[in-house]
Amino acid sequence: MKIIEPSVEFVNAPDYQTLMKTIEAAGRTCYKSEDLIKDGSAEEMVRKFLSWGHESPIEHASVTVRIICDRGVSHEIVRHRLASYSQESTRYCNYSKDKFGREIMVIRPCTICEDTDAYRIWKRCCENSELAYFDMLDAGCTPQEARSVLPNSLKTEVVMTANMREWRHFFKLRTTKGAHPDMRKVALMLLDKFEEKYPAFFDNLLDVHTERKM
């Protein structure tokens, strides 16, 4: 059994200016003000849309990411309806095969510290689940049958595509202090990447920035 950390990465992340120009062109259609489009006008216009609460134009821009997290966190991620997902399947992935290292991967809950009784209990439980999983495969069970004993901490990969409006909604919900700690950790990792690449979309998420400091 291997214990790993969650991670996130962009899979398809359009260039910032290309993204902004697409949104500006779409949004200005509402006002028939396309004649005002000029070099450097896109970012200012997008910020105006957001300040006006006119967020439908930003639905024309989508970003795809890959998230490595535990199964419990993935269950929260896929609840976001206005998005598309592809997820590692425990029905078809047989973790006894060489390409998986003949072991399962798990992610430690971020609130459980190593060298504690809680950590040792959690690790023992995951190890026992791994043994039971391989025993079921050896007994002739299919991966979709054996997966019933796998823990919530099992590592999974999710490719998620959403438009910028849904990403804003995602971060508003999943980065607050009241979010599940493991979900919040992944969401904040993603938000750091989005803020660096697409700053205009997140400047006014004051509640997110406030919660992050708490």
> Is 174 one of the annotated active-site residues of the chain?
yes
Q: Which of 28, 165, 168, 174 is catalytic?
A: 174
Dihedral sign computed on CA atoms, order 27, 11, 91, 80: negative
- DSSP result, 79-100: T-SSEEEEE--TTT--TTSGGG
* E strands in the chain: 2-4, 7-12, 62-70, 83-87, 105-107, 155-163
Whether the Cβ atoms of residue 1 and residue 127 lie closer than 8 Å to each other: yes
Give Cα 65 to chain centroid, integer Å.
Answer: 7
Give backbone dihedrals phi and psi of 95, rounded to 5 degrees, phi first: -75, 0
Strand, helix or coil for residue 105:
strand
Inter-CA distances, 95 with 105, 127, 167, Å: 9, 14, 32
The two tokens of residue 198 are: 């697409």
Length of the chain: 214
Q: Which residues are catalytic?
A: 174
